[in-house]
Structure 1
Amino acid sequence: MQLLLFLMAFLLPPGAGAGEIIGGQEARPHSRPYMAFLIIQTPVGYSTCGGFLVREDFVLTAAHCWGSPITVILGAHNIRREERTQQRRSVLRAIRHPDYNQQSNVNDIMLLQLENRIQQSEAVRTVSLPQAQARLRPGAVCTVAGWGLVSLSRSTNRLHEVQLTVQRDSRCRDRFNFYTDQTQICVGNPSSRKSAFLGDSGGPLICNNVAEGIVSYGDRRGIPPAVFTRVSSFVNWINRTMERFKQQNQTWTPL
């Protein structure tokens, strides 16, 4: 625990580009019990991402948040404090989508199998996934949450959230070379200056209590819209993968 707090002190210094919820507000503590904070060791050092709990033994995040080892913290509000609600798990297996493209960020989705199942509580709960191939309409109002910068120069330790509006796909096609509406969602009104950004990667886009998107990438200046992975395009892969990699240490009760 002390090591994790020590690492977070360096991962989130004031003014660092660790992540941004721009134009939002602090979330009510533990009002988003599916939120996960990831501490990732990469070849160049430690990084952080968001994620969300989809089963007691699986967290969903972005494929570009890959590394080893990965520590998952659930039930957190202030990620620099040792809160009694927090549960920490090591990642047994990081499973990137087999068609993930690191250059284009297409199919930017990854499942993390936890070494041990979490215990669901008021502060730690799963979130629903959408129906396969379901699509959001432009104008839909959703929320995204994450830890990190609350402006281009100010950091925070507490979970922040912001409301964002789904945009027409053409807005992202015009700005991003590899945008595809088959597997991605265009989110955030350019006139609002509200957005998720770099270190919020992997966090969920929640619409009507369903995790419809995953923070993927956006403009380096934090100007919306940003691109989210469309979860409904991958529901079948998610379910197949979770079934394939069942928890090895789970116990079975004879009928």
Structure 2
Amino acid sequence: MAPVLILLAFLLPLGAHSEEIIKGHKIKHHSLPYMAFVRFLKEDGNRSRCGHFLVHYNYVLTAAHCRGSEENSITVTLGAHNLKAQEQTQQIFPVAKAIPHLNYNSKDKINDIMLLKLEGKAKRTKAVKLLKLTRAKARVKPGKKCHVAGWGVTSFNSTKASDLLQEAELSIQVDYQCQKHFPHYSETIQICVGDLRKIQLAFKGDSGGLLVCDNRAYGVCAHAKKETAVDIITKISPFLPWISRNLKLP
């Protein structure tokens, strides 16, 4: 993303979902081949966007709040870097089925995770590949440096999302940093991330994107508040059995 992204966490007004990356940086074309771009129709009739990532060649993983109002309005683009360019690497799919977690709570932002089954199977290329998920008992300690990426807005004052994929580095924070800002934060199923000095976060348009630590998927971007320097990430490890079960469904 060309503009400077201010925060790589979810920095939105109270109660809002994060949809952009702030203080991020441009990345090499197709250096994150697992990233997916999703458009969907919101309840107010407007189109919105989220990040996703490929966990199977006909499934992407994202946040449950990225479902929108109509399942058949969701489209997934794989192999993208510049959304405005007619890249030959892009593979575009309608969604056959949205599978949000049954216990997703939109008010408290709990269990904010969802699988999207594609209508068709993605072709593995240099620009489209899977990323390994975290192991069931894997943990990341406070201070650990991880990365998030997306096509979201690049500043708090901007309403225009980026057409170029951008990435930012975030630190794992102690749970207290999120508990004091988010009353429903759960250390069991969520991860607190951010940069208390630089205010780097994921924001509008980055929801559903991926937290990557040591080349493995550890979490899904969920939400944040503009007034804080931290984002809430849905932890993947507690949901591995749920992911596995749903990947096996017809």
Match of 1:227 in 2: 232
Match of 2:59 in 1: 58
* RMSD of Structure 2 on Structure 1 (CA): 1.4
Q: Distance in 1 between matches of 2:156 and 2:226?
A: 10
Deviation at 1:18, TM superposition (A): 8.8
Q: Which runs of 5+ in 1 are unaligned?
A: 1-16, 246-255
Indicate which of 96, 102, 107 corresponds to 2:106.
102
Secondary structure at the aligned position of 2:237 is classed as helix
Structure number with larger C-alpha Rg? 1
Deviation digits for residues 44-63 of structure 1, max 9, x if unmatched? 12111100000001000000
Deviation at 1:153, TM superposition (A): 3.1
Secondary structure at the aligned position of 1:149 is classed as coil
Match of 2:200 in 1: 194
Q: Distance in 2 between matches of 1:59 and 1:96?
A: 12
Match of 1:42 in 2: 42
Deviation at 1:150, TM superposition (A): 1.4
Match of 1:208 in 2: 214
Q: Distance in 2 between matches of 1:55 and 1:207?
A: 19
Matched-pair contact (CA < 8 Å) for 1:198–1:218? no
Structure 1: which amino acid aligns with 2:27?
A: A
Secondary structure at the aligned position of 1:157 is classed as coil
Secondary structure at the aligned position of 2:247 is classed as helix
Deviation at 1:41, TM superposition (A): 1.6
Secondary structure at the aligned position of 2:156 is classed as coil
Match of 1:149 in 2: 153
Choose between structure 1 and 2 for higher RCO, CA contacts under 8 A separated by at least 6 residues. Answer: 2
- Count matched residues: 228
Deviation at 1:148, TM superposition (A): 2.3
What is the TM-score when the length of structure 1 is the normalising length? 0.86
Q: Distance in 2 between matches of 1:153 and 1:172?
A: 23
Match of 1:14 in 2: none
Q: Distance in 2 between matches of 1:21 and 1:186?
A: 16
Q: Distance in 2 between matches of 1:212 and 1:110?
A: 15
Q: Distance in 2 between matches of 1:175 and 1:168?
A: 13
Q: Distance in 1 between matches of 2:30 and 2:157?
A: 26
Higher helix share: 1
